Chains A and B, each alone.
Chain A
Amino acid sequence: MIPVYTRPKSLTDVVTHYCPGCPHGIAHRLVAETIDELGIQERTVGVASVGCSVFSYNYFDVDFQQAAHGRAPAVATGIKRVNPECIVFTYQGDGDLASIGMAEIVHAAVRGENITVIFINNAIYGMTGGQMAPTTLVGQKTTTSPFGRDPSTQGYPVKISELLSTIKGAHYVARFSLHNPANIQRAKQGIKKAFQNQIEGKGFSLVELLSTCSTNWGMTPQNALKWLEENMIPEYPLGEFKTGEGE
Chain B
Amino acid sequence: MSESLLMKGNEALAEAAIRAGCRFYFGYPITPQNEISEYMARRLGEHGGVFVQAESEVSSINMVYGAAGAGGRVLISSSSPGISLMQEAISYIAGAELPCVIVNMSRGGPGLGGIQPSQSDYFQATKGGGHGDYRMIVLAPATIQEGCDLMATAFELADKYRNPVMVLGDGMIGQMMEPVVFPEVLDATELPPKPWATTGAKGRKRNIISSIYLDPEELDAHNWRLEEKYRKIRESEVRYEVLHGDDAEWFFVAYGTVARICTAVIQRLRKEGVKAGLIRPISLWPFPDEAFEKVADRAKGFLTVEMSTGQMVEDVRLAVNGRKPVYFYGRTGGAVPTPRSVERRLRDMMDGKVPSQTDYFDRVGGAK
Contact = CB atoms under 8 A, between A and B. Distances in A.
Q: Do chains A and B touch in the complex (CB under 8 A)?
A: yes
A81 B199 contact: no
Given A74-B63, A74-B66, A81-B67, 11 more contacts: A41-B201, A55-B212, A64-B207, A71-B59, A71-B89, A78-B69, A78-B72, A82-B67, A82-B72, A104-B58, A107-B54
Contact of B62 (A64, A75, A83, A106): A75
A97 to B, nearest CB: 14
Q: Binding site of A, secondary structure by majority: helix, strand, loop or mixed?
A: helix
Contacts of A55: 212
A78 B67 contact: yes
A45 to B, nearest CB: 5
Contact of A66 (B52, B55, B211): B211
B70 A86 contact: yes
A57 B65 contact: no
Nearest 9 pairs of A and B residues by beta carbon: A78-B66, A78-B67, A75-B66, A74-B62, A66-B210, A43-B200, A71-B62, A63-B198, A107-B55
Contacts of B198: 45, 63-65, 79, 86
A201 B69 CA distance: 22
Given A68-B88, A79-B66, A63 B55 contact: no
Interface of B: 24, 26, 50, 52, 54-56, 58-60, 62-72, 74, 88-89, 92, 96, 198-203, 206-212
Contacts of B70: 45, 78-79, 82-83, 86
Interface residues of A, number: 37
Contacts of A85: 200
Contacts of A81: 24, 50, 52, 63, 67, 72
A66 B214 CA distance: 14
Contacts of B55: 103-104, 106-107, 110
Contacts of B201: 41-42, 61-63
B65 A63 contact: no
7 contacts: A43-B202, A68-B89, A79-B198, A80-B66, A81-B24, A81-B50, A82-B50
Nearest to B211: A66
A66 B212 contact: yes
B206 A63 contact: yes
Contacts of A103: 55-56, 58-59
Contacts of B71: 82-83
A135 interface: no
Given A63-B198, A63-B199, A63-B201, A78 B64 contact: yes
A65 B65 contact: yes
A158 interface: no
Given A81-B52, A107-B54, A66 B209 contact: yes
